[in-house]
């Protein structure tokens, strides 16, 4: 199963205010899964609302990489890098699943988590 992910590219885990979707990505219609994984809230930088949604979703899907990656992204954007790093480590402890970036390019969940931990990117899943 392919998961949908929107990658927000950042120079470091310090994170800039870059848009969630890759600049070259064509506009996509939001899917029901987007709402489940708080992509609209993250895209609008409504991090409190995203965190509320993702915390509830994590209770229902504690091993879902999209939930963990998005919640990690929210933590990182709200200056809680320790919590974000813990969730990226949790993703690495799960099976590696293929995800689709907003640009349509494939990516593996472990690669996304490793990139975030190394300070090269932060993820927000769709």
* C-beta separation of 73 from 42 below 8 A: yes
Average pLDDT per run of 10 along the chain, which is 126 residues long?
44 28 45 82 94 96 94 96 97 94 82 89 52
Does residue 25 belong to any structural domain of this protein? no
CATH code at position 39? 1.25.40
What is the residue range of 101's domain? Answer: 3-14+30-125
Answer yes or no: pTM beyond 0.75: no
Does residue 43 belong to any structural domain of this protein? yes
Phi, psi of 123 (to 5 degrees): -115, 150
For the chain, what is the domain count? 1
């Amino acid at each position: 199963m392919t998961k949908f992910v929107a990658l927000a590219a950042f120079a470091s885990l310090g994170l800039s205010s870059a848009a969630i979707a890759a600049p070259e990505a064509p506009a996509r219609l939001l899917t029901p899964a987007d709402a489940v994984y708080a992509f609209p809230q993250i895209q609008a930088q409504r991090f409190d609302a995203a965190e509320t949604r993702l915390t509830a979703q994590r209770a229902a899907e504690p091993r879902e990489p999209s939930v963990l990656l998005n919640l990690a992204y929210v933590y990182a954007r709200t200056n809680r890098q320790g919590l974000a790093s813990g969730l990226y480590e949790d993703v690495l402890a799960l099976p590696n699943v293929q995800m689709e970036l907003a640009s349509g390019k494939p990516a593996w969940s472990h690669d996304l988590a490793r990139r975030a931990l190394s300070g090269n990117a932060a993820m927000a899943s769709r």
